[in-house]
Amino acid sequence: MNTKNALLESIDAGRFIVLPKMDKDEALSRLADLIESSPLFLKESRFRETLFRREAQTPNYLGYGIAMPHANVQQGDQAICAIGWSPSGIDYGNPDNWLVHLLLMYCVPVSVQNQFLNEISILARAIENDPAKHELVNLPDSETVCSRIRQWLDPSLNGKISGDKTPQDQRLSNSSVSHILLPDVIDMIRENRLKDLQVFLGAQPAPEIADMISEAQEQDCVLIFRLLPRQTAAEVFSLLDLSEQETLLRYIAGDEAKQILTSLTPDDRTALFEELPAPVTQRLLGLLDDKDRKETLTLLSYPENSVGRLMTNRYVTARSEWTCEHAIENIRKTGKDSETIVMVYIIDDKGKLLDDLPLRSLIMAQPKTLVKTLLDGRYVALHSLQDQEDAVNVFKKYDLYALPVVDSDGVILGIVTADDILDISEEEATEDFHKGAAVRPLEEGYLKSKISLLYRNRMPWLVTLVFINIFSGAGIACFESLIASYVALVFFLPLLIGSGGNAGSQSATLVIRSMALGEVNTADFAKMFFREIAVSLGLALTMACAVFLLGWWRSGMLIALVVAVSMIAVVVFSSLIGMVLPFILRKTKIDPAAASAPLVTSLADIFGVLIYFGIATFLIKLIVS
């Protein structure tokens, strides 16, 4: 019985229950009871023991409030399923902290494990493809749940990925699927069932395998990679992070490494080499043939972070004097290994780019039509020395999959594709987030970075801010006599400087993001300044009303007035600090993202203390005297 039939049979046989509010172990036990009550279940199997052991090690959580706990048994040849639906949700211990509302539990004989894993991955992708997958909590009754399950089993959903996704996007959407499959893959390795594992891996999409390799331990990921068919291995390798690629290259033999490196596109190969230590790069360059080695060295010769490092020479061209029939025939001959043939680049006899032409135009034109009659001379191109961040903005503006790269004479050197630009965009956004939190950017993910590196990246700013905040204490010391006479002022100090810091951080974040998106530049300073005054004044007046009532109730009219006026001044001033600081940094050629929230908050604290006690001194003298 396959996975689909097992699910349907569990509904028809009554192994579908509504679970009241309970903990995870109790819910698993209730479903295990249903499976063990099936006439297909062999009593001598150790299903329940295996199930709880696996769940204790790694919860089989798919995502979106759905869990797929399962365990393998030695006996039998048919999978058995039980379904539990919990309207109130079960705390499953999953990373995203979602409550689990749907549990699909399986008892899987080892003899059908491969078939089960293949079909469960298809089912998981069908769930991923469901636009209403987030709404399990809103399903009204068990009949609706059964209807939704039958919808997932519809063959028209199986194996599809929503929208036009790049391999990297598919890898992100399939990460939860690989999380379900990985424990079974590790079991096959431990049980030395490598032939079964090879068959299973051969049927899986490359993004899922890449995720499994990323999550597996080092010795396991190398073995998984070695079991892949050659073509799949090349695709999987291109989807891995650079650190994971480097790990694999340390373990695989020279001939194997050569095959992988040769299969990579020039831009991916360059990205790998520029991150590797020099001795490793030299060794790997020696594995390439003369053509690939020259190609790689050419790309590496471009400045770091330039468009030249991203481009590939796998594109299709045509000459303007050719007929459309000739051009299409040339594409058939030369376009097999091209990154894309959606756009054909028209060149002259010296290789100078004249125009770009959609393949659609060539196909739809009459065979004898000259290519030059289809050109309009309007195209967008990147320069090989252009900064990669500029290229990101160009792609966003024109919304194209690929752009040509030219030199100073207009000769086409290669193309840059959207998948590489998306990587750069993600890196830049991550770098800005890190800087915005006063952290030096990490080259690898948090979990993959060494503790010593995390310490070094966070320590400098935090120590700097310690010394900056000394001025806050010095400011308070200047008003000791005032504080001694009106101790109630201290009660509202954290509220005021905290509000100022929050307002300043909001303002800085909005300005920095607007600068990153190209919406704001230094010429917009005056407009931004007056807009921020208007907005911050409105916010400050609203917050002042709230704090006035609090101050009046807690400490009387005098303190309430002081706190309310101070709130207006502190919020407006802090907001302006947050707005102005990125402009100052941009003017001095420093990344505006360095105007981090901790820095803005620290400055707001210092000035907030001075403003608060300064206003308090003035108003108390004015009113009391």
User: Are both 474 and 569 inside the same structural domain?
Assistant: yes
List all residues 6 or more positions away from 299 whose beta carbon is below 8 Å from its beta carbon. 266, 267, 270, 308, 309, 311
Q: How far apart are CA 181 and CA 171, in angstroms?
A: 14
Residue 340 falls inside a structural domain: yes
pLDDT at 568: 92
User: Are both 477 and 579 inside the same structural domain?
Assistant: yes
Q: How far apart are CA 169 and CA 128, in angstroms?
A: 13
**323 has which bridge partners?**
370
Residue 192 falls inside a structural domain: no
List all residues 6 or more positions away from 531 whose beta carbon is below 8 Å from its beta carbon. none
CATH code of the domain covering residue 276: 1.25.60.10
Distance in Å from the first CA to the final CA of the chain:
92
pLDDT at 161: 38
User: Are both 230 and 246 inside the same structural domain?
Assistant: yes
User: Are both 474 and 570 inside the same structural domain?
Assistant: yes
Q: Is the pLDDT of residue 170 over 60?
A: no
Q: Look at residues 416, 580, 435, 414 and name the one whose alpha carbon lies nearest to residue 511.
A: 580
For the record, the structure tokens of 146 come out as: 């059964």
User: Are both 546 and 478 inside the same structural domain?
Assistant: yes
CATH code of the domain covering residue 368: 3.10.580.10
pLDDT at 573: 92
pLDDT tens for 233-255 read 888 888 888 778 888 877 776 66
Q: Is the pLDDT of residue 458 over 80?
A: no
Name the least confident of 197-201, 252-256, 298-302, 454-458: 252-256
Q: How far apart are CA 93 and CA 518, in angstroms?
A: 42
Looking at 309, 328, 352, which one is the last position of a domain?
Answer: 309
pLDDT at 606: 86
Q: Is the pLDDT of residue 462 over 70?
A: yes
Residue 174 falls inside a structural domain: no
Q: Look at residues 235, 294, 290 and name the one whose alpha carbon lies nearest to residue 268.
A: 235
The larger pLDDT score, comparing residue 366 to residue 337, is at: 366
Q: Look at residues 526, 521, 619 and name the one whose alpha carbon lies nearest to residue 566.
A: 619
For the record, the structure tokens of 45 come out as: 């199997």
Q: Look at residues 503, 463, 482, 465 and name the one whose alpha carbon lies nearest to residue 610.
A: 482
Split at pLDDT 50, 70, 90, the class of 346 is very high
User: Are both 416 and 483 inside the same structural domain?
Assistant: no
User: Are both 477 and 618 inside the same structural domain?
Assistant: yes
pLDDT at 482: 83
For the record, the structure tokens of 174 come out as: 């399939």
CATH code of the domain covering residue 9: 3.40.930.10
Looking at 404, 423, 442, which one is the last position of a domain?
Answer: 423
pLDDT tens for 87-119 read 888 888 776 677 888 898 988 888 888 788 877
pLDDT at 443: 62
User: Are both 142 and 27 inside the same structural domain?
Assistant: yes
List the domain range (segments joined by +) for residue 245: 214-219+226-309
Residue 273 falls inside a structural domain: yes
Looking at 408, 423, 438, which one is the last position of a domain?
Answer: 423
User: Are both 35 and 148 inside the same structural domain?
Assistant: yes
Residue tagged 């995502």 (tokens): 63
Split at pLDDT 50, 70, 90, the class of 570 is very high
Residue 463 falls inside a structural domain: no
Split at pLDDT 50, 70, 90, the class of 448 is low
Count of domains for the chain = 4
pLDDT at 595: 54
Split at pLDDT 50, 70, 90, the class of 366 is very high
pLDDT tens for 268-280 read 777 777 767 666 7
pLDDT tens for 177-207 read 777 788 888 888 888 888 888 888 888 888 8
pLDDT at 432: 67
User: CA 478 → CA 483, 570, 604, distances in Å?
Assistant: 10, 18, 18
Residue percentage of the chain with pLDDT more than 90: 11
Q: Is the pLDDT of residue 572 over 90?
A: yes
pLDDT at 162: 39
Dump strand ranges (E) for 444-541. Answer: none
| Biggest alpha carbon–alpha carbon distance for the chain | 98
Q: How far apart are CA 123 and CA 238, in angstroms?
A: 26
The larger pLDDT score, comparing residue 294 to residue 66, is at: 66
Split at pLDDT 50, 70, 90, the class of 457 is confident
User: Are both 484 and 561 inside the same structural domain?
Assistant: yes
Angle, vertex CA 621, rays to CA 618 and CA 624, nearest 5: 140
Residue 40 falls inside a structural domain: yes
> 617, exposed or middle or buried, with CB in 10 Å at 0-12, 13-18, 19+?
middle
Residue 32 falls inside a structural domain: yes
User: Are both 153 and 19 inside the same structural domain?
Assistant: yes
